[in-house]
A and B are shown apart, each in its own frame.
Chain A
Amino acid sequence: MIKLSKIDKYYDSRFQRTFILKGINLEVNQGDFLTIMGPSGAGKSTLLNIIGLLDEPSAGEYYFWDEPAHQIREKQKVQYHRTHIGFIFQAFHLIDELNVYENIETPLIYRGVKGKERKALVADFLDRFNIVAKKDLFPSQLSGGQQQLVAIARAIIGSPKLLLADEPTGNLHSEQGEMIMKLLKKLNDEGMTIIQVTHNEKFAQYGNRIIRIEDGLVRSDAMNIALQAEV
């Protein structure tokens, strides 16, 4: 469903070309839980952004749901953001001016879901994530873990096919991080395809496949041994 071949991302300055990504080949299948690891500045986030159609590769071919993404028009991308892709971020990125309920509701509005249905759906998610009591609070009144919980609820309420998580536990205590990872694992078990970027070795193990990036190149791509052993 996702296929990258020979993806380059570079910036041209006056005298030289700086590569962020170089010749990335990657295939992700339905139901995968892929972890991207690597040191700071390796290009992990850029890769995630390209996959999430936020950024465009400088060269190479990218197929998103078998569609050549390097040719997708802006309008179509907006459509994909509405129906196919959910995002969660290290800094949570909730809208400060909206409360929990309204934050979760936002993507449904853009998908054109009718008011009644929206209400029911948000209520359902609040319930599922155990945050009914917090629905009227604003992001600044929540702990980091709670904020990320809301962010995940918001990301998946439109039932996207792909969830992209950019260091979802980076700003959290380990305990809260654990909770978030367990939630992601559960979503994956239910069939959601997830790609996450992380620095944390332990949390990386939640995925069923780990790729390591260094200096814009894929250094290794392996099925998660621990998980396989478990199977």
Chain B
Amino acid sequence: MFKNHLISTLRFLKRNKIFTGINILGLSLALAASFIILLFVINELSYNSGFKNRKQIYRVLSYYADHNITDDETSYVLAKSIKEEFPQVRYVAPISRLRNFSIKLKEELIPLNNAVGTDSEIFQIFDIPIVGQTKNILADPNSIVLSSTQAQMFFQGEDPIGKDLIAFVNDKEEVFVVKGIFDDMPVNSNLQADCFISSKWPLEQLNLRFKDRNAETDWRLNYWETWLLLDKNADRTSIDKQFRELEKKVHGEVADNTYFIQNLTEVYLGSQEINSGQPKGSIKNIRIFSSIALLIIIIAALNYIILSTAVSTGRSKEIGIRKTHGASSQSIQKQLLNESIIMAMMVLPFALFLSWLVKPYAEELFQTKLLIIESNIIIYAVAYLALTLFIGLASGLYTSSFLSKLNVINIFKNSAQTGKSKSYVRLTLIVIQLIIFCSFVSGTLIIRSQYKYALEKDPGYRNKDILFINVEKIPHNSAAFLTSIKTYPNVISAGGATNALPMLSSWPYSIELPDDKSKKVSIELLAVDYDFVETMGIEVLEGRSFSREFGSDGETSYLLNEKAVEALGLTDPIEKKIDVEEGTVIGVVKDFNLHSFHSDIPPLLMVASDAYVMQVAVHYKPGTLGNLLPLIKTEWEKVAPDQPFNYKTIEEFKKEIYTGERNLSVIISFFALFSMLIASFGLFGLTLYMVKSQTKEIGIKKVFGSSEKSIVLSLLRENMVMVAIATVLSVPPTILVMNRWLTNFSYKVDIGWWVFALTFLLAAFVVLLNVFYHSYRASQINPIEALRYE
């Protein structure tokens, strides 16, 4: 029976080329788009799934209540304490990544970016199989365990175990002995490593940096991730209790930071709020993109339904014949369902090819590598097949149940498909498609307008003609560099600070209230030099800015913003003494957006200090950037000849900050285009069939003197009504979703009515473009031919 069905299906598709073509195009576009999204989603969800005992692996997080910050870095000594005092922890290891670790290969130093300093237990925690020594592999401080890629690079086919390597670590050469090899870490995991070495080396590095402290025992040198493996039936609440006791012991009765553990399965997607240098996924993005994929699939499925019910004229005869020859409704339904599934399956290879083709562009859009991860291949295959089957089922379900229930007599009388109610169903489906399209369009417009708003809104400081130069690499020469720049006539002023504005990181500080020393409030710090406030055009409301004329301005003179004055409860702030380092308030500046528009303006305390200058801001005369840049660059080369010259204009910097928003708007506008294409195919095909079935009606109208213009207009009017309804109906869901999205921002645009007006115009244009050709053709119908009987 299946063969018989397959044959008639294939021949039917071959004969109805427009129907088939439109469906294949629509389905393959939709499938390709959702394949790409699915690839992204699967990769994100499979992060860290390469570790077998991931349910038992945890990392320790540290929460600072004063600033409401959670950090993934802890002290070295924490792991030791846990090992001694926590019986339910089977293994625990601190890890720290070394800055500047390189290995000599034929007189050349090859830098290893992921050199991990840790203890031997790391291999038990993550269950990393090693070739070579298996026990206490890192006990000897000069041991090194290489990844198989690195081993291949340094030993090219030789057996590396027991061989020596010369490494450059902590500014000196050291001899390391290769003790073992491990398979490369899965790319989608938080534990990335080129090699493992003893924790001695990062400790040494820290001790060099903080000369008066001992990194091995200091509870405040938080530069280590602490990973542990819990016993299978360990009780997590007992761990919390033990942490509380530990905190009391080391930090005193009122502990300012508390520890808790996070499971490995939550590390990637559940760390949005955690201060960490580790890669983070966003469950929000996964949701956004999955819903986009679903909407696209719905549009394509609707297309199929709309078209297949429209062309059912050709199909219903066959169904009638089959029924009179003993086919039951169920068998007809099965046949039609098979048909749509076959269609979807035929599209599968084409869609795969298409998604492979657009993958590089999608990578740019998503700002992430869309890797085809080997361990996920089965998941991809299953997911893709399931999705294809789903789209086949979704499209076929309505059509098959509708067509299989048609009455045989009606079919043979040729009246089964002209029923008014059916065409209403079709119109409804088209309206749904248009709603999705309109939502995409207005969503894009809203995101775009928020993006523009974020770039253009006055942040309370100079918004243009500012150049930021990164001087992190020349901490001792930044003052000299600044002085030399200021000599150029096109430079109005130049000043340095710890950060460029808007500030990306934050420097929170708990400050005592001047009136009540027992109470503390959280405030943010920004260290600037004498000229930064003036260069950035930050407005001073009261008192004065930092100035060289007052010799005392150093680390004990403070500028506050209005929010800080309020938070500290100061009424007449000037000359008031406040905490930090027994300083004096010398002025109050107007509130400005220290951070991006995502967050509120925090209470801010600015301190004058050349010691922390990391970024230099240059205020130049408008339009002079082009000839100024080479001059500044030569100055840079004078002070730092071997360092790269990193600079960006404030416009570029802001664009960088809001790339997420820009990318999202581009992504959604792409999918708007996709949905438009797919829906247009459907509308085009449908109008073709509609006009065909209305030939007689149009013929009669013409006989009774209807003009061609009025025929075209009447066809267009119907479509315009549809567009209007769809636009109106798209407003509430769009506003709902976009308002939620806008809560990401503390400063945001209002959703204006123009968004929807523009959407309506665009949708109307697209629809008219599709319908006009057919309408015009219909108006040219020769009534004699249209009305000829049979």
Contact = CB atoms under 8 A, between A and B. Distances in A.
Interface stretch (B79-87, B315-323, B584-592): B315-323
B412 A98 contact: no
A106 B7 CA distance: 12
B155 interface: no
B327 interface: yes
Q: Which 5 A-B pairs have the closest CB atoms?
A: A82-B326, A97-B11, A110-B326, A107-B325, A97-B8
Contacts of A154: 325
Contacts of A27: none
A165 to B, nearest CB: 12
B335 to A, nearest CB: 11
Given A78-B328, A106-B4, A95 B322 contact: yes
Contacts of B326: 78-79, 81-83, 107, 110-111, 158
A83 B322 CA distance: 14
B377 interface: no
Contacts of A83: 326
Interface stretch (A86-94, A179-187, A191-199): A86-94
A19 B322 CA distance: 29
Contact of B318 (A74, A97, A105): A97
Contact of A109 (B4, B15, B328): B4
Nearest to B413: A45
B504 interface: no
B408 interface: yes
A187 B693 CA distance: 41
6 contacts: A75-B328, A89-B412, A95-B8, A96-B317, A98-B4, A106-B4
Nearest to B11: A97
A102 B4 contact: yes
A87 B325 contact: yes
Interface in A9-49: 49
A139 to B, nearest CB: 11
Contacts of B320: 93
Contacts of B8: 95, 97-98, 102
A54 interface: yes
Interface in A99-156: 102, 105-107, 109-111, 154-155
A98 B328 contact: no
Interface of B: 1, 4, 7-9, 11-12, 15, 314, 317-318, 320-329, 331, 408-409, 412
Interface string A173-210: 00000000000000000000000000000000000000
Interface of A: 49, 52, 54-55, 74-75, 78-79, 81-83, 87, 89, 91, 93-98, 102, 105-107, 109-111, 154-155, 158
B427 to A, nearest CB: 26
Contacts of A93: 317, 320-321, 412
Contacts, number: 71
Given A81-B323, A107-B325, A55 B409 contact: yes
Most A CB contacts (10 A, CB to CB) among B9, B322, B325 go to B325
Contacts of A102: 4, 7-8
B7 A81 contact: no
Q: Could you tell me the dominant secondary structure of chain A's interface residues?
A: helix
Q: Could you tell me the dominant secondary structure of chain B's interface residues?
A: helix
A79 B323 CA distance: 11
Nearest to B325: A107
B322 to A, nearest CB: 7
A95 B323 contact: no
Contacts of B329: 74
B327 A110 contact: yes
Contacts of B9: 97
B12 to A, nearest CB: 5
B318 A95 contact: yes
B4 A105 contact: yes
Given A81-B323, A96-B15, 7 more contacts: A75-B328, A97-B318, A98-B8, A106-B4, A106-B321, A106-B322, A110-B326
Contacts of A79: 326
A48 B9 CA distance: 31
Contacts of A78: 326-328
B750 to A, nearest CB: 54
Contacts of A98: 4, 7-8, 11
Contact of B1 (A75, A109, A158): A109
A154 B326 CA distance: 12
A91 B413 CA distance: 11
A81 B4 contact: no
A97 B322 contact: no
A62 to B, nearest CB: 16
Contacts of B321: 93-95, 106
Given A97-B8, A98-B8, A81 B318 contact: no
Contacts of B408: 54
Most B CB contacts (10 A, CB to CB) among A93, A94, A154 go to A93
A27 B359 CA distance: 73
Nearest to B315: A97
Nearest to A98: B8
A55 B321 CA distance: 15
A132 B321 CA distance: 23
A110 B610 CA distance: 91
A138 to B, nearest CB: 8
A54 B12 CA distance: 26
Contacts of A49: 409
Contacts of B328: 75, 78
Given A106-B4, A109-B1, A97 B15 contact: yes
A118 to B, nearest CB: 10
A110 B329 CA distance: 12
Contacts of B11: 97-98
A155 B9 CA distance: 22
A26 B88 CA distance: 91
B20 to A, nearest CB: 13
Contacts of B318: 95-97
A187 B506 CA distance: 96
B747 to A, nearest CB: 63
A97 B325 contact: no
Contacts of B327: 78, 110
A121 B11 CA distance: 25
A75 B4 CA distance: 22
A142 B412 CA distance: 21
A15 B621 CA distance: 89
A57 B401 CA distance: 25
A79 B327 CA distance: 9
A107 B327 CA distance: 8
Contact of B325 (A74, A75, A81): A81
B432 to A, nearest CB: 31
A40 B4 CA distance: 37
A78 to B, nearest CB: 4
Contacts of B314: 96
B409 A110 contact: no
A117 to B, nearest CB: 15
Most B CB contacts (10 A, CB to CB) among A78, A83, A158 go to A78
A74 B328 CA distance: 9
Given A97-B15, A105-B4, A110 B331 contact: yes
